[in-house]
Structure 1
Amino acid sequence: MDGAIIGLIGTVVGALSGVLGTLAATRLGGAEQRRTQTDQSERQGRTTAYASLVIESSRAYRVGYATHTGVLDHAAPLDRAEALRDFMSVADAVYEAVSIAKLHGPVAIARAADNLASALSRWYSEVELLAGGQGDEQQASEAIELYEELEERFVAMGRQILSGEPLLR
């Protein structure tokens, strides 16, 4: 073979390998970029869902506590009925936020959100019983404490997940 042909073949092979290398690098870079964007999107979704649950949970605590103390202070029946409606309304908002948080979290955070919703439901039931003259103040107080504890646990777990730390059991 002539030296010119060998040089031409070398040039073509070099050009092809350069093009293929560039295409491979572009493809890998694009895949990495998509993965990074997906991770960022998932993190933002979790942040929004967890924050929403914490906000609604805090609102429910404030309204629930006011309702609870109003019932214990023997507020007028109409005031109690209105307060219970307000408490149920904010509890419903928590239940909706729980559903969304469960979609964005691992099983442990979904379980923590469910536990928080159950504690809220129990607390509401205890306050409703108190308002009807059938409840037990001790059980109602324990329901508040459980709700506070489970809210703190959810916040701690959410913080761990969002920071990338492994969940502690």
Structure 2
Amino acid sequence: MDTAVVGLSGTVVGVVGTLATTRLGGTEQRRTQNDQSARQERATAYTKLVTACSRTYRLGYAVHVAVQDTHGRAEASPGVAEASPGVAERLQEFSLAVESAREVVSLVKLHGPEEIARAADNLVSAMSGWYREVAFLAQGEGDVQWAGEAIELYEELEERFIALGREALSRTPVPA
């Protein structure tokens, strides 16, 4: 009887051990899949923001140059220079693109981490500031130097966001 009990106990321990190993393996596999899914969602959010910002930058730069040229002609010959054709429309496109980028920041905030969410906010705030400076220039009330500084700030913050995003996506996830 003792050998039967010992044999049965050994079998039970073996089965329990197998079940525990299977459960731990399944948990680790789910964790790995969740980490991969979260990383992919972050990558998608970051990519959408960078894409929206690139589009906005192109629109903003084109209108910035056009407004700056108009501003320069107006300073050289006050009252003579008129706004370049289409500046108002391009300025409106720039404004809409800034708002689109602002909406994408929500995705970045959702997927984090906090440092990148702040960097995304700062990036779009700088873009908004650049837009305001270009709009002031278009109205003849702005300062060319301030508009230039606004675009430089935006470019600096864009580089920072991209660097933080790359770093976050390349990190090995820490087990929970």
TM-score between both structures, scaled by the size of structure 1: 0.90
User: Alpha-carbon deviation of 1:162?
Assistant: 0.7
Count of equivalent residues: 161
The answer on 1:8 being equivalent to 2:4 is yes
Paired residue secondary structure (1:133): coil
More off after superposition, 78-87 vs 153-162: 78-87
Unaligned runs of 5+ in 1: none
Q: Is residue 2:152 matched to residue 1:145?
A: yes
More deviation, 100-109/58-67: 100-109
Find the counterpart in structure 2 of residue 118 from structure 1: 125
* Residue 7 of structure 1: how far off its partner (Å): 2.4
Structure 1 Cα separation of the partners of residues 171 and 112 of structure 2: 12
CA distance in 1, matches of 2:68, 2:85: 14
For 1:72 and 1:161, the matched residues in 2 are separated by 38
Q: Decide whether the 8 Å contact of 2:83 with 2:138 is kept in 1.
A: no
Unaligned 5+ segments in structure 2 are: 71-81
Counterpart of 1:44 in structure 2 is: 40
Amino acid at match of 2:64: H
Structure 2 CA distance for aligned equivalents of residues 76 and 128 of structure 1: 12
Partner-residue secondary structure (3-state), 1:49: helix
Q: TM-score by structure 2 length?
A: 0.87
The answer for the alignment partner of 1:96 in structure 2 is 103
Counterpart of 1:141 in 2: which secondary structure? helix
- Cα-to-partner distance string for 1:23-65 (whole Å, 9 max, x where unaligned): 1111111111111111111100111111111111111111100
Alpha-carbon distance between aligned partners in 2 of 1:22 and 1:56, rounded to the nearest angstrom: 51
Cα distance in 2 between the residues matched to 1:78 and 1:103: 41
Encode CA deviations 1:119-169: one digit per residue, 9 max, x unaligned.
00100000111111111000000000000000000000111111117xxxx
CA–CA distance in structure 2, aligned partners of residues 99 and 125 of structure 1 = 22
Which residue in 2 is equivalent to 1:155?
A: 162
Q: Percent identity?
A: 57
Q: Distance in 1 between matches of 2:97 and 2:157?
A: 17
Residue 56 of structure 2 is matched in structure 1 by 60
Q: For the residues of structure 2 that align with 1:105 and 1:162, how far apart are their CA atoms?
A: 11
Q: Is the 8 A contact 2:42 2:108 kept in 1?
A: yes
Match of 1:131 in 2: 138
SS at match of 1:73: helix
Q: 2:15 aligns with which of 16, 19, 33?
A: 19
Map of 1:25-40 to 2, 5 A cutoff? 25-40=21-36
